C-alpha cells in the first residue's frame, strides 16, 4: 500500500515520547517534513535525557504543563491544533501484575481519555501501541492478526480492552486509528536496571557483572525480538499509510529461543560464562507464554513496513549504547 501522507507541516503529539520506544519515534518523526513534535510525558519511566539530541531541533519540545493521560483537561489542552497523535503511554507487563487497579486507570481508562480527546480536537489519525500480549501463548505459528486472544494476564487484558475501544471510536466517530502489536522490543533507552525490565537487559547486566546468566525453564521458550528503531519506523509508516483502521503485528517473524539469545549475547560480549537454568517461580507471569512469533505479512503489505535490524546487529547497537552511557565497561 502506498504512503500518500507525507506529514508536511503536521503538528504531532507523542504521548510517552520520552520513553523507551517513544524517544525513538520522536527521532524518526523529525526526519519527516513536519511542523512540530510535542512530547507529552509524565516521566514515570521516560527520561528527559533520552531526548537531548531531539530537543536541539527547534521543531521538538516537551509539553510544559503536564503529561499524564489520566489528567483529562491537561490532555485536551495538549491536543489543541494537533494533526496526529502517537500514543505509547502504558504500564508494562509485570507492573500490571502487581498493580492491576493502576493498570486499569492508565492502560484502559487512559486509552479512553486519549481517544476521546482525539475526537474532541479533530485529530486526523491516532497510532496506538498495543502488544503481542493480546495473543497469549501461540496456538499457531507464526501468529497472524486473526490469531485468537489467548491472554491470561492483566497487561494483555488491558491491551485487548484498549483495542476494542479503538475500534468502537473508529466505528462511532470515524476516528482513524491504527493499533500496533509489538513483539519483544529491545534496545537503548529500555530501563536497564529497573525491577520491571526485559530479558535482554537482565542478561546483559548479569554478564557485565561477570555472573552466570540465569535462564528460567529450559531455554526453549522462543520469541520474536525486534529492535526499537524498527518499531519506531513502523509507527511513522502507520501514520503515513492510507489505512484508516486496523491492528498490525510489529515483528521480524524470526523465532529465537532464550537459549539462542543468551548464547548470542555471550558471543558478542566475548564471555566464557556458562548459563544456569532454574525453574520459573510459581507466580511468574512470563511462564504462561512459551512461544510468540508474529507474522510480518500484513504490516509489510498495508503499512510498507519491514524490519532493518537482525538480532545480532540490534544487540550490537544496544551494547555500544551501554558502553557509551557507562552501563558497561567494554
Give the catalytic positions in this structure.
155
- Cis check for the bond before 142: say yes or no (omega within 30 of 0): yes
Alpha-carbon span 97 to 281, nearest angstrom: 14
Q: What are phi and psi of 20, to 5 degrees?
A: -55, -60
What region does 141 belong to: left with phi over 0, alpha with psi -120 to 50, or beta? beta
Strands (E), 116-265: 125-131, 176-182, 184-186, 214-216, 222-223, 225-227, 245-250, 256-257
Q: Is 52 exposed, middle or buried (0-12, 13-18, 19+ CB in 10 A)?
A: exposed
Q: Please, are residues 292 and 139 in contact by the beta-carbon 8 Å criterion?
A: no
Could you report how far apart the first and last alpha carbons of the chain are, in Å? 44
Mark residue 253 as left, alpha or beta (left: phi above 0; alpha: psi -120 to 50; beta: remaining). left
Amino acid at each position: 500500500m502506498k504512503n500518500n501522507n507525507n506529514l508536511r507541516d503536521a503538528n504531532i503529539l507523542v504521548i510517552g515520547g520520552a520513553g523507551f520506544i517513544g524517544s525513538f519515534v520522536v527521532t524518526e518523526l523529525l526526519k519527516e517534513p513536519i511542523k512540530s513534535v510535542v512530547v507529552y510525558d509524565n516521566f514515570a519511566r521516560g527520561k528527559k535525557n533520552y531526548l537531548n539530541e531531539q530537543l536541539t531541533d527547534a521543531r521538538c519540545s516537551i509539553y510544559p504543563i503536564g503529561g499524564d493521560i489520566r489528567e483529562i483537561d491537561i490532555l485536551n489542552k495538549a491536543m489543541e491544533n494537533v494533526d496526529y497523535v502517537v500514543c505509547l503511554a502504558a504500564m508494562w507487563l509485570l507492573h500490571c501484575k502487581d498493580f492491576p487497579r493502576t493498570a486499569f486507570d492508565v492502560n484502559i481508562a487512559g486509552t479512553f481519555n486519549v481517544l476521546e480527546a482525539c475526537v474532541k480536537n479533530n485529530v486526523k489519525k491516532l497510532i496506538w501501541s498495543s502488544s503481542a500480549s493480546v495473543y497469549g501463548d501461540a496456538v499457531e505459528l507464526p501468529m497472524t492478526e486473526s490469531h485468537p486472544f489467548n491472554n491470561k494476564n492483566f497487561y494483555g487484558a488491558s491491551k485487548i480492552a484498549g483495542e476494542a475501544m479503538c475500534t468502537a471510536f473508529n466505528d462511532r466517530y470515524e476516528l482513524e486509528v491504527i493499533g500496533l502489536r509489538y513483539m519483544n522490543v529491545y534496545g537503548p533507552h529500555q530501563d536497564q536496571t529497573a525491577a520491571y525490565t526485559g530479558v535482554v537487559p537482565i542478561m546483559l547486566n548479569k554478564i557485565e557483572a561477570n555472573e552466570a546468566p540465569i535462564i528460567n525453564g529450559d531455554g526453549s521458550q522462543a520469541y520474536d525480538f525486534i529492535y526499537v528503531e524498527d518499531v519506531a519506523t513502523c509507527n511513522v509508516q502507520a501514520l503515513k499509510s492510507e489505512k484508516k483502521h486496523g491492528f498490525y503485528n510489529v515483528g521480524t517473524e524470526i523465532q529465537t529461543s532464550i537459549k539462542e539469545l543468551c548464547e548470542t549475547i555471550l558471543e558478542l560480549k566475548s564471555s566464557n560464562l556458562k548459563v544456569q537454568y532454574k525453574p520459573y517461580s510459581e507466580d511468574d507471569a512470563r511462564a504462561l507464554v512459551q512461544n510468540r512469533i508474529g507474522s510480518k505479512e500484513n504490516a509489510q503489505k498495508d503499512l510498507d513496513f519491514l524490519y532493518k535490524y537482525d538480532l545480532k546487529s540490534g544487540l550490537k547497537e544496544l551494547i555500544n549504547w551501554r558502553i557509551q552511557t557507562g552501563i558497561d565497561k567494554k
